[in-house]
Chains A and B, each alone.
Chain A
Amino acid sequence: MTSFLQIDLPAMLVGTLAALVCALIGNFLVLTRQSMLGDAMGHVVLPGIVIAFVLAGTTATWVMLTGAFAAALFSAMLVEFLRRMAGVEPSAALGAVFTAMFALGVLLLEQSGVARTTFDVHHILFGNIETAIWPAAAGIRSLFDLAALASLPPQLGRLAFGLVVVALIIVLLFKELRVVSFDPDFARTIGISPRMIGALIVSLAALAAVVSLSAVGVILLVAMMVCPPATARMLTDDLRTQVLLSLLFALASGVFGYAIAVLLPLAFGYEISLGAAGTIAVVAGLFQLAAMLFGPKRGIPRTA
């Protein structure tokens, strides 16, 4: 029990919370045809995080958030510049900027020497949720012990903060988000600005990316922004149901994915380990595959 609390619970919580916050905002990325934005976000914030760490010398939450946001903002401006001022085709502008920013991040990581101490580029790419541990846990009572709870890994606080902010804004502006996602022209006629709501969706995606990136890595982030919402979309036409279902699939992916990473090697008796970020993402992908094959709403609607 103690080792479960010390090792498995924090890692599982980190994976699951990241899955939830990414899936939540991912619903609106999928509906507004911006699924690749999560991928872009995950890549562009890397140089921001590295520069912020090198300048401030700490991985404190606010430092990471500031650096990541600055990088996301800078990238967004660069993409807009290439698109509007220079006339580069939109997906090419996005592709050129996010690869260049990620390349810059990788180079800074290796050159500044933090690569082997604080961040590892593999962890950024693959995720390393296993590093989330809770050494202060000494049994079930620790769950109610404030002193012990205070030593929970800092990623958890960051993720919980992100989840609350994203959830709150989505609940408050649900009607606006729904109209803009399904019918931007109609939204305009009733006085809701698709541009404003679009910017809000992008900002929330950036927040979700920032809080998840260093905790779970780029790939889990991308998978969770797309797979659970896509799975849910195969099952329902109602947005509210879709969002709730996507959270359910995110939760299930987090728990089952982590369990597979821990239990499968044990079952085979090998001394091997599976990266939990990877298994969680694969489980999310398998849910989506099942939904695409058997979901009631999988086909192209006749009245598009």
Chain B
Amino acid sequence: MTDLSPLVSILLLQAGYNTIVVMLGAAALGAATGIVGVFAMLRRRALVADAVAHATLPGVALGFIVAVTLGFSGRSLPFLMVGAALTAILAALSIQWITNRTRLTEDTAIASVLATFFALGIVLLTVIQTLKTGGQAGLDIYLLGATAGMLREEAIILALFSLVVALAVAAIFKELTLISFDADYARAHGFPVRLLDLAILALVLAVVVIGLRVVGLVLIVALLITPPAAARFWTNHTGYMTLISATIGAASAYFGAAISAVSPDTPTGAVIVLVAFTILLFSVFFGSARGIVVRAFGARQWRGAS
């Protein structure tokens, strides 16, 4: 980490073609999580996202087992992602069922689903480790993320998926904004609040599954929570907030992937999360709308300006 020149050259896109594509893929993912995160935060779905992310582990493990059984490579992305999506959906449904049908509160539903699904994933992983198939080490990256060894095609898939997510949000942006700030009003005016909440959950599921490869399932939730939390300090306008959150998410993933690419022993997910948290702390103090410094010194002028 003492010699910064490799980092600088990577940041300026002078590294190999593959690295550039991977970093741009990560940035696209960061933008998508930043966008979806705004609504996940406003509709208080952030911790559900954490449970859903952890619940992808048994799916990844099952995907591996099925792929190997059918004679494919255990690391083939489609199997792992379909498996991850299926168990994540099951977890989301379980949380809903527990919250609606038992007297346990939502936090207990989230925590118990998170723990049980993740534990099942661990058990399956230990089984896989003893199978004599090879390729098990490849599953590690789904825990804490890695961009090393990522294929160009994978990065392009990430970017395309992220674009689809961004377009989906853009298509129903007005409705999402409305239910985020005044769900009762929206309901009274005939907006399908339940359906829109379901759409948010679906988008959360989508970015979590897409993000596993880069950030890992343990920390992906940070990309849904931290960029929107930081963005709120810069503006009160939902449209701008979404743009800023997307930018912060993209920047965190881009720089995180770059730092992780040049220094050994740095899990990509951990670095990305720390970059995002640093941006949050900076925003807390210097954010132009609600930052502490701004509030302390020039509250009146700034409020007038926004």
Contacts and interface: CB of A to CB of B under 8 A. Distances in A.
Interface of A: 30, 33-36, 38-39, 82, 85-89, 91-93, 95-96, 99-100, 102-104, 106-107, 110-111, 115, 121-122, 125-127, 219-220, 222-223, 225-227, 230, 233-234, 270-275, 277-282, 284-286, 288, 292, 297-301
B111 A104 contact: no
A100 B108 contact: no
B249 to A, nearest CB: 13
A259 B298 CA distance: 65
Given A230-B104, A273-B126, 11 more contacts: A99-B219, A100-B274, A103-B273, A107-B271, A223-B112, A223-B119, A230-B108, A234-B104, A273-B130, A284-B116, A285-B116
17 contacts: A36-B50, A86-B284, A87-B290, A96-B225, A99-B273, A100-B276, A126-B122, A219-B118, A226-B115, A227-B115, A272-B131, A282-B116, A285-B116, A292-B104, A299-B101, A299-B103, A301-B103
Nearest to B233: A86
A278 B61 CA distance: 14
B115 A92 contact: no
B306 interface: no
A53 B274 CA distance: 21
B76 interface: no
B28 interface: no
Nearest to B42: A89
Contacts of A297: 103
B44 A91 contact: yes
A298 B221 CA distance: 30
B110 to A, nearest CB: 6
A209 B62 CA distance: 30
B270 to A, nearest CB: 4
Contacts of B277: 96, 99-100, 103
B226 A96 contact: yes
Contacts of A110: 265-267, 270
B228 A107 contact: no
B280 interface: yes
A230 B277 CA distance: 33
A282 B229 contact: no
A35 B114 CA distance: 11
A14 B104 CA distance: 29
A86 B115 contact: no
Nearest to B144: A106
Contacts of A230: 104, 108, 112
B122 A107 contact: no
A210 to B, nearest CB: 18
A277 B219 contact: no
Contacts of A284: 115-116
Contacts of B131: 272
Contacts of A30: 104-105, 108
Nearest to B41: A92
